[in-house]
Amino acid sequence: MKISKGLLGIVDEHPVELYTLENDSGVIVKITNYGGIVTSIILPDGSGNTQDVVCGFDTLEGYFSEEYKANSPYFGCIVGRYAARIKDGQFNIGEVQYQLDTNDGTNHLHGGKIGFDKRVWEAKTLEKQDRVQLILTLSSQDGDQHYPGNVDVTITYSLTQSNALEIQYEAETDAQTPLSLTNHTYFNLGGFQKRILDHQAQIHSNRYLIPDDSNVPVGEEAMVAGTACDFNTPKRIGDSFSELPNGFEHYYVFENEAGDLIKVAEFSDPDTGRTLSVLTTEPGMLFYTGLYTSDNLAREDGTAFGQFKAFCCETSKYPNGPNIKGSPRSVLNPEQEYSELTIYQFSW
């Protein structure tokens, strides 16, 4: 196992490095300290062929192109302070109402206009017998994007010898503040030869949050049984598109009140035999199939991304959690330590 780095570019006078994590099975994961972005995951398949299975770019310029900025798909990044949408950018803590930036119509999305995905993080590396690690840290000051409290965040990416990418999220604050961190990697286990409609999916969840007219959950839930949203039994993703032509942007709720590490989903590509299992301590996951991804986005080698070409498994707190009664762990208190783990386990 090994980890190496090289200079990717400069942002706001800060050096941006690209870290390459490799294990002995031929898995290669590339991550930059700009936004904590996973730029590349290269996996073998059952025949020994290797392909990149995530959306991303090989140059820093790709993340600053006009096409990318206009589409804003958040490829591979760390999202924060709060993943997904907060309705009207508003929430209350006690008797105090806070107004955040609104960068998605009337709503606040993925931490605001300058979220954690647009910051240069401090980075260090570790090499261990069974894993290599990239440890990213960031301090978010009181008032950052109008959130209360100073927040210190640590993200630890670990590539293991057993072909897992583990993401450990840790944080602490000096004042009550909403906090929901996630990774926004888009996967196509077939290497982008075609859309992800033929992928098999299984999601261990009996219910999802219903969004309102502005695409924000406000507390109402729906049961998946008997609907196109039911993935408790593995099925082809595209089989649901006859009823859901826009695909999925659904937050699935898990029965995991204790915050244990549990397996919540599995995806596989029948052509290559590659499989992705998702394990997490989080209360739910936004399953997104890329409706809004621009067809004009492509990696530098010509690999084309676009609508329904990849899916996201955004394990996180409830979208709009600060405004939903009973939403688990959506607000971090000063005496608490934020600690969540999500594992992407690959096989072929």
Partners of 16 in beta bridges: 9
Mean pLDDT of 245-256: 97
Write down the catalytic residue from 17, 172, 249, 314.
314
Quick one: pLDDT band at residue 328, thresholds 50, 70, 90? very high
User: Which pTM does this prediction carry?
Assistant: 0.98
Quick one: pLDDT band at residue 32, thresholds 50, 70, 90? very high
Q: What are phi and psi of 280, to 5 degrees?
A: -160, 160
Question: Which residues, including other chains, have CB under 8 Å from residue 327's CB and lie 6 or more apart?
Answer: 283, 317, 318, 321
Write down the catalytic residue from 184, 250, 266, 340.
184
pLDDT at 188: 98
pLDDT at 233: 98
pLDDT digits (tens, 9 = 90+) for 170-203: 999 999 999 999 999 999 999 999 999 999 999 9
Mean pLDDT of 40-67: 97
pLDDT at 31: 99
Asked about 95 being catalytic, the answer comes back as no
Mean pLDDT of 334-345: 98
- Sign of the alpha-carbon torsion through 178, 278, 281, 5: negative
pLDDT at 23: 98
Asked about 314 being catalytic, the answer comes back as yes
pLDDT at 175: 98
% of the chain exceeding 70 in pLDDT: 100
Q: What are phi and psi of 292, to 5 degrees?
A: -95, 0
Which structural domain, as residue segments, surrounds residue 277? 2-347
Quick one: pLDDT band at residue 19, thresholds 50, 70, 90? very high
**Which tokens belong to 348?**
């072929």
pLDDT digits (tens, 9 = 90+) for 60-74: 999 999 999 999 999
Among the listed residues 169, 112, 119, 121, the one whose alpha carbon sits nearest the alpha carbon of residue 143: 112
pLDDT at 106: 96
Give how many domains the chain has, as a whole number. Answer: 1
Question: Which residues, including other chains, have CB under 8 Å from residue 303's CB and lie 6 or more apart?
Answer: 52, 192
Q: What's the mean pLDDT when you consider all of the chain?
A: 97
Check: CB of residue 264 under 8 Å from CB of residue 345: no
3-state secondary structure of 118: helix
Q: What is the CATH number of the domain that holds 25?
A: 2.70.98.10
